[in-house]
Amino acid sequence: EAQVTQNPRYLITVTGKKLTVTCSQNMNHEYMSWYRQDPGLGLRQIYYSMNVEVTDKGDVPEGYKVSRKEKRNFPLILESPSPNQTSLYFCASSLGQSFTEAFFGQGTRLTVV
Amino acid sequence: AQSVTQLGSHVSVSEGALVLLRCNYSSSVPPYLFWYVQYPNQGLQLLLKYTSAATLVKGINGFEAEFKKSETSFHLTKPSAHMSDAAEYFCAVSYSGGGADGLTFGKGTHLIIQP
């Protein structure tokens, strides 16, 4: 089954404790993207990747890092999480750069206290 | 740069009434347009999309949207609302001209269905 898998689904952590949210797709897609969703703000793009070792900043990259060492994986790294990074995070992948056939993960709800 | 504006953060309709959720886009090149729905505590589900074929697009659950280039709009409609339509709806845009923008989402419209 074609899917994007995010882990964990839920996470509560403390300020400053490094964490990684994993994202994996099984469709050999070149394009992957991370979004955060906040009430009243919709989904905003954090980072974007066009292929292995090629990434670019989205609209809200501050406080986040990503890596794309393999095509299937696109982890989101918070080196020093802060409470303003409490949010719902979605990973997406697509065969094409216009995301007309996008697949989304189920989301990761992160709380930073 | 591309952008999307959804008019109305909350829309309330009676069960059986017409649903109209408004979306206007800004794109310097021909856009692709999408409506996504998010039910409570769930992920995103694609309702429908416009990719430069027919301007009237039919989606799942009885929803449809019409691409109007002259008005830069892509409003979502459903003739008769059902209680199960209560959800958050997001309009999104990407474009066919290449580049790394991916999907740009609007801020969302929360649809409330009154019994």
Per-residue pLDDT of chain B (115 residues; tens, 9 = 90+): 788 999 999 999 999 999 999 999 987 788 899 999 999 989 999 999 999 778 999 999 999 999 999 999 999 999 999 999 999 999 999 976 655 568 999 999 999 999 9
Integer Cα distance of B61 and B96 in angstroms: 27
DSSP letter for B16, please: T
Q: What is the model's pLDDT at position B100?
A: 57
My answer on whether omega of the bond before B31 falls inside 30° of 0, hence cis, is no
Chain B residue whose CA is closest to A99: B102
Instruction: Count CB neighbours of A40 within 10 A.
Output: 8
B102/A50 CB distance under 8 A: no
Instruction: Give per-residue pLDDT as tens, A44-103.
Output: 999 999 999 999 999 999 999 999 999 999 999 999 999 999 999 999 999 888 888 899
Q: Which residues of B touch A35 (CB under 8 A)?
A: 105
**Would you list which residues of chain B are within 8 Å, Cβ to Cβ, of chain A?**
6, 9, 32, 43-44, 46, 49, 51, 90, 92, 94-96, 98-108
A90/B43 CB distance under 8 A: yes
Does residue A15 have a pLDDT over 90?
A: yes
Neighbour-count burial of A12, counting CB atoms closer than 10 A to its CB (0-12 exposed, 13-18 middle, 19+ buried):
exposed
Cβ–Cβ under 8 Å, residues B93 and B73 = no
Q: What is the model's pLDDT at position A77?
A: 98
Q: What is the model's pLDDT at position A96?
A: 86
Instruction: Give per-residue pLDDT as tens, B22-37.
Output: 999 987 788 899 999 9
Q: Which residues of A touch B99 (CB under 8 A)?
A: 97
